[in-house]
Amino acid sequence: MSGFQLIVRGLLAENPVFRLALSMCPAVAVTTNVKNGFLLGCAVVFVQVMSNLTASALRQFVHQRVRVVIYTIIIATWVSAIDMIMGAYLPDLYDQVSLYIKLIVVFAIIISRMELFASKNPLIPSLFDGLGMGLGFMFGLMMIGAVRELLGSGQLLGFDLLGTKPLLIMILPAGGFFVIGFLMAIFNTVLKKLGLGAPPAGGHH
Amino acid sequence: MMLKHIAKIALNLTVICFFAGTVLGLVNLGTQKAKEENQHKREMLTSMSLLGYGAGNPAPPDLEMRAVSRYLLSVDGAPALGYVLPVDNNPVFIVLSVEGEKLLEIPAPDAHQADINQNLSSLMGKEVSGLRHVEDYRIALLDGKVLGYLIVGNNLGFKANIRMMISLNADFSVRGMAILESEEDPGLGDEAKEPYFRNQFAGKSAEQLARTGVSTSPQPEEYRALLEAQPEGHFTAEEMERLRTVYGDSPIYSITGSTISSTAVTVGVQKAVSRFVYRLQQVNAALAAARTAPPAPAGEPEEEGV
C-alpha cells in the first residue's frame, strides 16, 4: 500500500473511532466542542507517529516476551514529550487539554497500531500508518465535537450560531454516546455506498 | 540458555529505558526555559490581578514591587535563617537564629558568589555552610507605603501538589487567593479556581483565617452571589466591607465532592499566611532592636500587627 492509501485507510476504512471503535473514552470525554477534539487529535497524531516510528525501528530488537513493557515505555516517553512541549510553547491551549494529554498513555489505538502494524513493517509505511490513524482519530473527534457543540451549546468553534442551546444533554457524557452511535451509523452507511463496506474479518493485517 | 534469555530481556529493557531517558532529558532541556518564562509570566499576571489590577484597571506607574528572599543556612552546625530585604532602599542580608536573635547584618552579598559560605564564615567568625534559597515574598509599595504582600503557598492536593498565591493587605488580612498550579480533577477539585471557592478567603483577617474551618454544608445563596459578583476578585470597597463584617467568621465552604482538595487549599493558605506573618514579625523585631526608627518597608505594618 502506498503512503496515500495508508492515510486514507486510517481516515475511512479503518477509522479508529467509527470503524475500529478504539479509544472510545476520550471520544466521549473531550468532544464537547470542536477545538478540544482538534487539540487532542494533534497530540495523538504526534504520539502515534513517533511511537510507530520507534516501534518500527526497534522491531528486530524487541524481545517478544517483553514487547508490551517496551511499547508502554515508548508511548509514555512520547506522551511526556508532547506534554512538556505543549506546556512550554502553547501554555493557554495546554491548560484546556493538559489532563487529557496525559491520558494518551492509555489510549488503545496507539499500542494497537504498534502491535498490529509498526512491529511488522518498515519505517516509511509505519510513518504513514501513524499519520493515517492519528488523522482518522482527529477527524472522528472533530466530527463528534462539531455535532455536540452545535446541538449542546448552539455554537461552532466558539461562535454563537443558534443563539440557543437546543439539546443540553449533548454536552453531557450521555450525549457523547448518542452522537458517537449516530455518527457511526451514518459513517458506515456512507462508506457502504462508496463501496468501502466492512473490512474482511481481522482487517487488512 | 536461561541466563542468555535473562540477559537478552534485561538488555532490551535497559536500552529502551536509556532511549526514553535520553528523549525526555533532551525535551526537558529544550523546554525548560520556555516553561520557566510561562510560569514567571503567569505569576506576574496573577500578582497584578491579586493586587486588584487588570485589563480595565492598569497598575499605576509608581507601583513598586520588592522581593524579600528567604534562605536557610547552618551556623556552627545550628540551623539559621537568612533574609535579603530592602532596608531604607538598600538590599541588606541578615542572618537570624531560629529564636529570632540577629547574628549578622551586612549589605546584601552577590548570591552567585561561589565562595559565599566562606565569606560569611569569615565575617561572622563562625562556621557557615549550606546556604540555600528557599522562597521569595513580594511587597507591593505605592507612594512609599505598603500596599500589600504576595506570598506563595504549597500543599498536597488530591493527587499532586497545589501552589497558590495569596495577596495580603498591609494589616495581613487576605485580599485574595489564586491557584497557580494544580492537577485537580476538572469539575471537582479544579473548581477551587472558581470565584465561589477562591474568593472565600478575601476579607478574612489573619486571626480569622487561622481559626477558620472547612464546612461541607451548602454555601448560603447570598454569600455565593457576593463571591461571584467579581469573578476576578476585584471587589469594590462596599463588597469588601460586607465580606469583612458579615462573612469574616464564616467557614470555607468546600467544593461538593472535593473535601480533600478544598481542605488542602485552605490549609495551604493558612500555613503560608501564618508562617509569613510570624517570619516578618521576627525580622522586623530583629531589625528594630538595632535601630531607633523602624525600617521601611518591612517595618510599616507593625502598629496594625497581629
Q: Is the pLDDT of residue B78 over 50?
A: yes
Q: Give the chain B residue whose CA is nearest to the CA of A66.
A: B9
Q: What percent of chain B has pLDDT over 90?
A: 41
| B chain contacts of residue A58, beta-carbon cutoff 8 Å | 16
Band of residue A126 on the pLDDT scale cut at 50, 70, 90? very high
| A chain contacts of residue B31, beta-carbon cutoff 8 Å | 84-85, 87-89
Question: Hey, where are the domains in chain B?
Answer: 68-136, 145-283
Band of residue B87 on the pLDDT scale cut at 50, 70, 90? confident
Q: Give the chain A residue whose CA is nearest to the CA of B37.
A: A88
Size of interface A-B (CB pairs under 8 A): 56
Q: Give the chain A residue whose CA is nearest to the CA of B31.
A: A88
- Please, which residues have CB within 8 angstroms of residue A27's CB and are 6 or more apart in sequence? A17, A140, A141, A144, A176, A180
Average pLDDT over residues A181-186: 92
Element housing A189 (H / E) = helix A173-193
Q: Using CB atoms, pick whichever of B16, B27, B186 lies closest to residue A70.
A: B16
Residue A105 included in any domain: yes
Give bridge partners of residue B106 from the DSSP assignment.
B93
Residue A97 included in any domain: yes
Task: Classify the C-alpha dihedral B121-B124-B128-B134 as positive or negative.
Answer: negative
Q: Is the pLDDT of residue A57 over 80?
A: yes
How high is the pLDDT of residue B301?
Answer: 45
Q: Using CB atoms, pick whichever of A73, A78, A88 lies closest to residue B38.
A: A88
Residue of A46, A60, A61, A77 to mutate, testing the B interface (most B Cβ within 10 Å of its Cβ): A77
| B chain contacts of residue A87, beta-carbon cutoff 8 Å | 31, 35, 38
| A chain contacts of residue B32, beta-carbon cutoff 8 Å | 88
Give bridge partners of residue A156 from the DSSP assignment.
A159
More confident residue, B234 or A162: B234
Band of residue A161 on the pLDDT scale cut at 50, 70, 90? confident
Average pLDDT over residues B231-250: 89
Band of residue A45 on the pLDDT scale cut at 50, 70, 90? very high
Lowest pLDDT segment from A122-131, B78-87, B295-304: B295-304
Nearest chain B Cα distance for residue A90, angstroms: 9
| A chain contacts of residue B38, beta-carbon cutoff 8 Å | 87-88, 91
Pairing of β B78-87 and β B145-156: unpaired
For residue A169, the one-letter residue type is I
How high is the pLDDT of residue A51?
Answer: 95
Q: Is B158 within 8 Å of A99 (Cβ atoms)? A: no
Task: Classify the C-alpha dihedral A187-A192-A194-A198 as positive or negative.
Answer: positive
CB contact under 8 A, B9 and A66: yes
CB contact under 8 A, A81 and B27: yes
Nearest chain B Cα distance for residue A201, angstroms: 34
Q: Is the pLDDT of residue B292 over 80?
A: no
Residue B164 region, left (φ>0) first, then alpha (ψ -120 to 50), else beta?
beta
> So what's the ipTM on this one?
0.77
Query: In degrees rounded to 5, what are phi and psi of residue B199?
Result: -75, -10
Domain assignment of residue A102, given as a range = 3-193
**3-state SS of A57-99?**
HCCCCCCHHHHHHHHHHHHHHHHHHHHHHHHHHCHHHHHHHHH
| B chain contacts of residue A61, beta-carbon cutoff 8 Å | 12, 15
Q: Is the pLDDT of residue A30 over 70?
A: yes
Q: Is B268 within 8 Å of B224 (Cβ atoms)? A: no
Band of residue A140 on the pLDDT scale cut at 50, 70, 90? very high
Residue of B6, B13, B27, B182 to mutate, testing the A interface (most A Cβ within 10 Å of its Cβ): B27
Nearest to A80 by CA among A56, A59, A60, A51: A51
CB contact under 8 A, A70 and B28: no
More confident residue, B92 or B270: B270
Q: Is A6 within 8 Å of A128 (Cβ atoms)? A: yes
DSSP state letter for A117 = I
Question: Within a 10 A sphere around the Cβ of B202, how many other Cβ atoms?
Answer: 24
Nearest chain A Cα distance for residue B228, angstroms: 22
Cell numbers for B163: 501552589
Lowest pLDDT segment from A156-165, A174-183, B79-88, B213-222: A156-165
Residue A32 sits at the vertex; the CA angle it makes with A189 and A133, to the nearest 5 degrees, is 55
Band of residue B293 on the pLDDT scale cut at 50, 70, 90? very low
Band of residue B306 on the pLDDT scale cut at 50, 70, 90? very low
Q: Using CB atoms, pick whichever of A61, A84, A98 lies closest to residue B28.
A: A84
Q: Give the chain B residue whose CA is nearest to the CA of A64.
A: B9
Mean pLDDT of chain A, nearest integer: 87
Q: What is the DSSP track for chain B?
A: -HHHHHHHHHHHHHHHHHHHHHHHHHHHHHHHHHHHHHHHHHHHHHHHHHTT-BTTBPPPTTEEEEEEEEEEEEETTEEEEEEEEEETTEEEEEEEETTS-EEEEEEPPPTT-TTHHHHHHHHHTS-EEEEEEEEEEEEEEETTEEEEEEEEEEEE-SSSEEEEEEEEETTS-EEEEEEEE--PPTTTGGGGGSHHHHGGGTT--HHHHHH--EE-SPPPHHHHHHHHTSTTS---HHHHHHHHHTTTTPPEEPPTT-HHHHHHHHHHHHHHHHHHHHHHHHHHHHHHHT-SSPPTBTTGGGGG--
Provide the number of structural domains found in chain A: 1
Q: Is A183 within 8 Å of A147 (Cβ atoms)? A: yes
Nearest to B102 by CA among B287, B243, B268, B232: B287
Residue A205 included in any domain: no
Q: Using CB atoms, pick whichever of A61, A80, A88 lies closest to residue B35.
A: A88
Q: Give the chain B residue whose CA is nearest to the CA of A88.
A: B35
Residue A204 included in any domain: no
* Strand positions, DSSP E, A20-172: 155-156, 159-160
CB contact under 8 A, A74 and B20: yes
Q: Using CB atoms, pick whichever of A74, A76, A87 lies closest to residue B35.
A: A87
Residue A203 included in any domain: no
